[in-house]
Amino acid sequence: MVFAAVGVFLYLQKTEPPWYARLWYPLRYTSIVRGHAAHYRLDPAFLAAVIEAESKFNADAHSSAGAVGLMQLTPTTAKGIAQYTGGHNFHVSDLTNPEINVRYGAWYLRHLLDRYDQNEQLALAAYNAGEDNVDRWQRQHVGIQFDETRGYVDKVERLQKIYRKAYASELGY
């Protein structure tokens, strides 16, 4: 009996049918994700995957590095985005607001994709490790030099496929 249960579990993990993926990878704030993905010309599964990787859709998430909210933006980065996009009176507490956090994060992802010629891997690496590191790696003609960042890029790419398959109708495919 135990072997059968383990076998079924392993099979489901490998095949990840949509119903199973939905159990492990919930989608929250669907209208916010779809809206900002459309506005910033992002794949909604890509945006959802970044949110899952960063915060598991927890709007109140805080990291030890000081990042806040669904997309784990640092207050410094968010303040810069707010000023660049015409926002005034930025408050750190804004980052726990899903609408604001996803808007800023989506804007930043679009900025990174444009900066790195639509290369999702480089944009994700910059989102995780910073633009200065990615720029240096590009100048040195080397790949991603941080194990954590390579793992992050792989994770988001895997999650993007899962979200696209599991939530096709919700994300507008």
pLDDT at residue 27 above 70?
yes
- Residue keyed to tokens 């993007």: 160
CA atoms within 13 A on the CB side of 28: 15
Section 145-154 average pLDDT: 98
Q: What is the rounded distance in angstroms from the CA atom of residue 43 to the CA atom of residue 111?
A: 14
Q: Is pLDDT larger for residue 20 or for residue 142?
A: 142
Residues of the chain above pLDDT 90, percent:
83
54 a catalytic residue:
yes
Average per-residue pLDDT in the chain?
Answer: 92
pLDDT at residue 170 above 60?
yes
pLDDT at residue 47 above 90?
yes
Structure confidence at residue 8 (pLDDT): 44
Q: What is the rounded distance in angstroms from the CA atom of residue 131 to the CA atom of residue 118?
A: 14
Q: What is the pTM of this model?
A: 0.90
Catalytic residue among 16, 52, 54, 120: 54
CATH class of 2-166: mainly alpha
